[in-house]
Amino acid sequence: MPRRSGRRLLHLLAAAALTVTASLTASANSTASAAPGSPALTPPLGWNSWNSFGCGITEAQVRQAADAMVSSGMRAAGYRYVVVDDCWFDPQRDAAGNLRANPTKFPSGMKALGDYIHGKGLKFGIYQAPNEKTCAQGVGTYPGSTGSKGHEAQDAATFASWGVDYLKYDWCSGSGTLNEQIAQFAIMRDALRATGRPIVYSINPNSFHAPTGDKYNWGEIADLWRTTEDLLDIWQNGNTN
């Protein structure tokens, strides 16, 4: 990659690592934990595309991030997950209702991208939402309605076939009670388990929704969970954990 973009990406990776570390440290006193047999009995470390690229994420950028995680020494330090956030998908499912990659942004497809990431000794993560729309679709910055609601088993099987190792599942809606959230998150939990592939299940109950905080032990549902809105690599962003 060009030297300038390479330096920028390394900076973004370092910032992401600091953000993850701060989040984990702040939660260290919690007694909640993932369920026995979880593929994430220790906190997963890695990089997520959202804070760096938002909805503009492309296959080329993800490949560059994977390369940088290796060349920078982050992989050797234990950072293994490369997670592609919102806006990776075609705005329309195929005729059979399957998810597919946005052909302009991810021309090789998600299976090929996962193979590339695995070839670097890293793990492949992906984003979805339990509602009819993903977060970007819900706020109108990306077209379509391709959330997993009603497609949970189908999407879980698709992710497993692509070699996905980590799913970020984002409740990006202000509607829904806590019990409704629990029920929807549990559907995908069961669908992922049914694939037979060990996929880390990371949920966010808090986007545009009252933070659940300590009201519920999500360890009965997921391997890890968010307790706040988005955290950025700055100190004065108004968020606490």
| pTM score | 0.84
Q: Is residue 28 part of a domain?
A: no
- Domain total of the chain: 1
Q: Is residue 103 part of a domain?
A: yes
Determine the pLDDT at residue 60: 99
Determine the pLDDT at residue 229: 73
Of 170, 214, 223, 233, which one is the catalytic site residue?
Answer: 170
Q: Give the integer Cα–Cα distance in Å for 189 and 222.
A: 7
User: How much is the average pLDDT of 101-109?
Assistant: 99
Output DSSP code: residue 126.
E
Q: Is residue 210 part of a domain?
A: yes
Residues 6+ away with beta carbon under 8 Å from 28: none
pLDDT band at 228 (very low <50, low <70, confident <90, very high): confident
Q: Give the integer Cα–Cα distance in Å for 79 and 210.
A: 31
Determine the pLDDT at residue 26: 34
Q: Is residue 211 part of a domain?
A: yes
Determine the pLDDT at residue 38: 82
For residue 84, give the 3-state DSSP assignment. strand
Q: Is residue 29 part of a domain?
A: no
pLDDT band at 164 (very low <50, low <70, confident <90, very high): very high
Determine the pLDDT at residue 21: 35
> Does the pLDDT value for residue 239 go beyond 80?
no
> Does the pLDDT value for residue 25 go beyond 60?
no
Q: Is residue 184 part of a domain?
A: yes
Q: Is residue 104 part of a domain?
A: yes
Category of 100 on φ-ψ map: left (φ > 0), alpha (ψ -120 to 50) or beta = beta
The predicted-structure confidence for 121-132, as pLDDT tens digits, reads as follows: 999 999 999 999
The predicted-structure confidence for 174-215, as pLDDT tens digits, reads as follows: 788 889 999 999 999 999 999 999 999 999 987 655 655 557
Active site residue 155: no
Category of 202 on φ-ψ map: left (φ > 0), alpha (ψ -120 to 50) or beta = beta
> Does the pLDDT value for residue 29 go beyond 50?
no
Q: Is residue 38 part of a domain?
A: no
Q: Give the integer Cα–Cα distance in Å for 188 and 129.
A: 10
The predicted-structure confidence for 132-161, as pLDDT tens digits, reads as follows: 999 999 999 999 999 999 999 999 999 999
The encoded tokens of residue 196 equal 């037979």
Of 67, 115, 230, 233, which one is the catalytic site residue?
Answer: 230
The CATH number of the domain holding residue 97 is: 3.20.20.70
Phi/psi for 188 (5° steps) reads -70, -35
8 A C-beta contact, residue 169 and residue 128: yes
8 A C-beta contact, residue 126 and residue 164: yes
Domain of 77?
3-23+44-225
